[in-house]
C-alpha cells in the first residue's frame, strides 16, 4: 500500500550510479536504517546477475530481516528487486539509470510495499517512508565519495 517514486538528476553517469546501487554489500556503510546485508547467493543468467540477499533494517529497538531477489541488468542499467521472505506482505523495488541531456543521469527509484503486521506497519511505516525519501540522497552522496564530486548538472 505505501508507495514511493522519485526521479533525481545527478551529475554522475548512469553506469556509475548503476554500479553504486548494484554493490549491495556496501549498503550498511551509508544507507539509512540498513544495519546489515548478506548476499546468500549470486549467479549469472542471460547476461544478468541474480542475487538473493538478506537485509536487516532497524530503528531504535525494532530489528527486522527480509530476503529479496535482486536482478541486475547492466546493459539496460536497471535493477529489479523482488521480495522473497520476511515481515512484508509484498515489496517491489525498481531502479533505472538513464543518461541525461547535457551529462549526468536521471535516477528513477520506485518502491511499493506493505507489512504483514498492522502493528509493525504502524511502528515502522513512517520511518520506512522517511528512509525511502532519504535513499536517493544517500546514494547521491555516496557517489560523490566514491567517484568524486562531479560538476552540477
Question: Does a structural domain hold residue 28?
Answer: yes
Asked if pLDDT for residue 153 goes beyond 60, the answer is no
101 burial class (0-12, 13-18, 19+ CB within 10 angstroms)? exposed
Taking alpha carbons only, the member of 32, 67, 73 closest to residue 53 is 67
Mean pLDDT over residues 130-145, rounded?
A: 83
Question: Does a structural domain hold residue 14?
Answer: yes
Task: Give tens-digit pLDDT for 40-81.
Answer: 999 999 889 999 999 998 877 888 899 999 999 999 999 999
Taking alpha carbons only, the member of 23, 77, 34, 29 closest to residue 58 is 34
Number of domains the chain contains: 1
pLDDT category, 20, cuts 50, 70, 90?
Answer: very high
The pLDDT assigned to 129 comes to: 67
The pLDDT assigned to 2 comes to: 77
The pLDDT assigned to 89 comes to: 93
Question: Does a structural domain hold residue 153?
Answer: no
Mean per-residue pLDDT over the chain, rounded: 89
Question: Does a structural domain hold residue 96?
Answer: yes
H helices present in the chain, as ranges: 14-22, 118-147
Boundaries of domain holding 16: 3-147
Could you tell me the end-to-end alpha-carbon distance of the chain, in angstroms, rounded to an integer?
A: 34
CATH of residue 88's domain is 3.30.530.20
The residues, ordered by sequence, that sit 6+ positions from 56 with a Cβ below 8 Å of its Cβ are 34, 35, 36, 37, 63, 64, 65
Question: Does a structural domain hold residue 152?
Answer: no
Amino acid at each position: 500500500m505505501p508507495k514511493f517514486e522519485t526521479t533525481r538528476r545527478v551529475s554522475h553517469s548512469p553506469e556509475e550510479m548503476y554500479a553504486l546501487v548494484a554493490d549491495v554489500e556496501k549498503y550498511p556503510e551509508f544507507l539509512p536504517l540498513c544495519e546489515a546485508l548478506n548476499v546468500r547467493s549470486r549467479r549469472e543468467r542471460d547476461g544478468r546477475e541474480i542475487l538473493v540477499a538478506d537485509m536487516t533494517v532497524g530503528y531504535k529497538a525494532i530489528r527486522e530481516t527480509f530476503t529479496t531477489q535482486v536482478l541486475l541488468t547492466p546493459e539496460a542499467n536497471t535493477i529489479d528487486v523482488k521480495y522473497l521472505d520476511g515481515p512484508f506482505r509484498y515489496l517491489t523495488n525498481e531502479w533505472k539509470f538513464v543518461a541525461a541531456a547535457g551529462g549526468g543521469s536521471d535516477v528513477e527509484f520506485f518502491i511499493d510495499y506493505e507489512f504483514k503486521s498492522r502493528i509493525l506497519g504502524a511502528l515502522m511505516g513512517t520511518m520506512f517512508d522517511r528512509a525511502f525519501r532519504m535513499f536517493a540522497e544517500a546514494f547521491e552522496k555516496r557517489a560523490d565519495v566514491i567517484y568524486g564530486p562531479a560538476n552540477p548538472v
